[in-house]
Amino acid sequence: MTSNGQNSLERSIPAITVLPRPLFARVESLNAGSWTPPHRHDWVQFSYAISGVLGVHTAEGSFFAPPQWGIWIPADLEHQVVTSMRAEMRSLYVRREDCAWAEGRCRVLEVTPLARELIKSFCQLPAEYPQGDSQEARMVNVLLDQLANLPEVAFSLPLPRHERLLGLCNELIENPDQQVTLQAWAGRLGTSEKTLMRLFQRETGLSFRGWRQRMRLLSSLSLLEEGDSVTNAALACGYDSTSAFIAAFRGLFGFTPGELFRQ
pLDDT attached to residue 50:
84
Stretch(es) of the chain classified as CATH 2.60.120.280: 7-153
CB environment 248-258: b (16+ within 10 A), e (fewer): bbeeebeeebe
Q: Tell me the chain's radius of gyration from C-alpha atoms.
A: 20
Instruction: Pick 85 or 70 by higher pLDDT.
Output: 70
Stretch(es) of the chain classified as CATH 1.10.10.60: 160-262
C-beta of residue 14 within 8 angstroms of C-beta of residue 92:
no
pLDDT attached to residue 263:
61
Q: Which residues contact 24 (CB under 8 A, 6 or more apart)?
A: 16, 43, 92, 93, 94, 127
CATH topology for 7-153 is: Jelly Rolls (2.60.120)
Rounded-to-integer distance, Cα 225 and Cα 250, Å: 16
pLDDT attached to residue 4:
36
pLDDT attached to residue 131:
93
Q: Which residues contact 181 (CB under 8 A, 6 or more apart)?
A: none
Q: Residue 236's closest CA among 215, 261, 206, 258?
A: 215
Task: Give tens-digit pLDDT for 119-175.
Answer: 999 999 999 999 999 999 999 999 999 999 999 998 899 999 888 899 889 888 988
Question: With 0-12 CB in 10 A as exposed, 13-18 as middle and 19+ as buried, what is 100?
Answer: exposed
Rounded-to-integer distance, Cα 67 and Cα 205, Å: 26
> Helix, strand, or coil here: 61?
strand
The pTM of the whole model exceeds 0.85:
no
- Would the pLDDT of 243 be above 70? yes
What ranges make up the beta strands (E) of 134-198?
Answer: 152-153, 156-158
C-beta of residue 185 within 8 angstroms of C-beta of residue 196:
yes
Is the domain covering 160-262 a CATH 2.40.340.10 domain?
no
